[in-house]
Structure 1
Amino acid sequence: MKQLTWKTKNPEETKAIAKLTASFSRPGDVLTLEGDLGAGKTTFTKGFAEGLGISRVVNSPTFTIIKEYSDGSLPLYHMDVYRMEDESEDLGLEEYFEGQGVCLVEWAHLIHDQLPCDRLEIVLKRVGDEEREITFTAVGKRYETLCEEINKHDNISN
């Protein structure tokens, strides 16, 4: 299992890591985002969307659960499953996970049993007012390769 960790000084650096990650993403990728409220999950998603060339405003889908953005190089399915209870089977999440876009899933531990076995797990931790610690854990060969590519091209100080 491959792991990468960064300490970012501000939201722009968090977005830069997300943009870099997006540049190596491909259809069917699933990235999970974990962290307390205010840890930077939505900031990361905004940077990821920018990396895909999405021009629409990106915000948390807390009350809609899934927001779809299709105006970039790949469709982005931004999910916030915090408010879900046992209704996730009705949403057809596996269709998104196996689809032609990239899934970013906030609070993914709440639907752990429904997640694909292979995924990139991202944990964001607040370590100061603006500072964050971001850890990527690759689960599966695809995501080990993704982490290797990101690490090769990383211009953010780890």
Structure 2
Amino acid sequence: MPIDVIPHRPILGTRQILWGNEAACEAFARALAAAPGLRHAFIALQGPLGAGKTTFVRHLLRALGVQGRIKSPTYAVMEPYDLPCGPVAHFDFYRFGDPREWEDAGFREVFAAPGLKIAEWPDKAAAMLPPADLTMTIDPIDEERRSVTLNAGTPRGLALLEAAA
């Protein structure tokens, strides 16, 4: 009986870091925001509910210049931002369930256009998403600390990994 082989996207580099508190998350977000390749990257965020994915995105968006309230796109699926550094699209695919929604909402065009894309719960839309430049897996250790695994899936992701070190 043949065995189905599930293709694995290559990992060009990996790094494990510890966020001892939210200030460490913010510092990492600021360092990543300063990386030149970020402006056109796709970052996939993984981790359980309450891991800190949205908190990280809020810190990253603040570091990129977003003023005012930063909403979670849990119900809207996508929140767009038009920044001086370029467009940013923050996705939350937690409630994503219908592949037709991908086409109907114009997400294919968003991913094809220039700009930063950040996706929480990318596994819910994995069949439609391009390979992530950088995949961040955030695992809670306790109330404050987070273990973060960074995997670079593209040369751009590898540059981001090195820039945020």
Do the structures match in fold with TM over 0.5?
Answer: yes
Once the two structures are TM-superposed, the CA of residue 72 in structure 1 deviates from its matched residue by 4.6
Q: CA deviation at 1:112?
A: 1.1
Task: Tell me the matched-pair count.
Answer: 151
State whether structure 2 residue 49 is matched by structure 1 residue 14: no
Q: Distance in 1 between matches of 2:109 and 2:77?
A: 15
Once the two structures are TM-superposed, the CA of residue 89 in structure 1 deviates from its matched residue by 2.6
Matches within 5 A, 1:4-153: 4-24=15-35, 25-86=37-98, 87-151=101-165
Task: Letter of the 1:91 partner, please give it.
Answer: A
**Counterpart contact for 2:43–2:133, Cα < 8 Å:** yes
Moved more, 91-100 or 120-129: 91-100
1:110 counterpart SS class: helix
Local SS of the residue matching 1:146 = helix
CA contact (8 A) 1:45 1:58 kept: no
Deviation at 1:113, TM superposition (A): 1.5
Question: Could you state the TM-score of these two structures normalised by the residue count of structure 1?
Answer: 0.88
Q: Percent identity?
A: 30
Unmatched 5+ stretches in structure 2 = 1-11
Question: Which range moves more in the overlay, 133-142 or 89-98?
Answer: 89-98
CA distance in 1: counterparts of 2:90 and 2:147, whole angstroms: 21
Q: Which one-letter code corresponds to 1:102 in the other structure?
A: L
Contact 1:61/1:80 (<8 A) preserved:
yes
Task: Identify the range of structure 1 (69-78 vs 11-20) with the bigger mean alpha-carbon deviation.
Answer: 69-78
Conservation of the 8 A alpha-carbon contact between 2:94 and 2:124? yes
Gaps of at least 5 residues in structure 1 are 152-158
TM-score by length of 2: 0.84
Runs of 4+ in 1 over 6 A off after TM superposition: none
CA–CA distance in structure 2, aligned partners of residues 145 and 42 of structure 1: 23
